[in-house]
Amino acid sequence: MRMLINVPETVVADALRGMAAAHPELTVDVDNRVVVRRDAPVAGKVALVSGGGSGHEPLHGGFVGPGMLSAACPGEVFTSPVPDQMVRAAAAVDSGAGVLFVIKNYTGDVLNFEMAAELAEDEGIQVAKVLVDDDVAVTDSLYTAGRRGTGATLFVEKIAGAAADEGQPLERVEAVARQVNENSRSFGVALSACTTPAKGGPTFDLPEGELEFGVGIHGEPGRERRPMMTSREIADAAVQAILDDVTPRNPVLVLVNGMGATPLLELYGFNAEVQRVLTERGVAVARTLVGNYVTSLDMAGASVTLCQVDEELLRLWDAPVSTPGLRWGR
């Protein structure tokens, strides 16, 4: 097994120890699996808490810090964190202004965050929730009822995080998060399968010369298998799948996201094709982000996320952020 690990059983704990050593601005509780910004709780500020299975880094722990999340709860690889983690995180960051749970639409995440919200409210913490379900590839999957939550999670956490850092109240931060999710659509393509430490091999069979069109971030099947395509052809098909679902009337944020094993040389080339398609379709682009942000371990491939923004959402997107995985303006 060609993986830079000790044993599969300690992968997450080892990564959290390394994260703590690299980022003293965070408080990393390795035993209880909670990552918190060191200055939390911040008086008068709504706290944002998210989490999910490990293997998608920098999502979510890498997005903890000023301008984004207050805390994150990493589960085992591709496995939801448990309610105790979420309640512990909420208690650590709640200043009395309330906590917003950002939940990707995967069944385990939804059930555990729902339970955690009830437990946190029993402890006197005001909790609001927003569900991220941006993937247009399939309606239901191995992991979800409804659309999967993917790249728009970054947009929700960044924009709602900026609103929270400005001191906006919980109901407004929640409304902003919902608006971002409703304005976002994503589509992904896998060029190879990912390898989980526990399995030690590919999680699904993808024959040589084929790609998975509409793949999920856990390797869930997409719409179909297709023969390998050029970057230009993939961009045409992926962007069109999004535009078939929504017609942007405002400028969009564009996320060209690597799945973990695709180098930036290829991602920037793919972005050039995505931008070409958007120009041809008359879609104005406000900002573009390219890189590995919502990954699937060592999967080769990419996803495209578009989010329509007005002046207020764009202002919040541009607001300063300082996290391990996203940083500008500070």
The residues carrying an active-site annotation are 56, 218
- Stated as kind and residue range, the H or E segment containing 26 is strand 26-29
- Cα 91-50-258 angle, rounded to 5 deg: 155
HEC profile of 121-164 = HHCCCCEEEEEECCECCCCCCCCCCCCCCCCHHHHHHHHHHHHH
State the Cα–Cα distance between residues 34 and 48, nearest whole angstrom: 13
Q: What is the DSSP string of 82-107?
A: PHHHHHHHHHHH--SS-EEEEEES-H
> Of 152, 160, 216, which is closest to residue 181 (Cα–Cα)?
152
Provide the 8-state DSSP code for 326: -
Length of the chain: 330
If DSSP codes are grouped into helix, strand and coil, which group holds residue 189? strand
Please give the Cα distance from 236 to 223 (Å, whole number): 16
Cα 295 to Cα 17, 38, 285, 291, 301, distances in angstroms: 20, 25, 23, 10, 9
State the Cα–Cα distance between residues 185 and 201, nearest whole angstrom.
Answer: 31
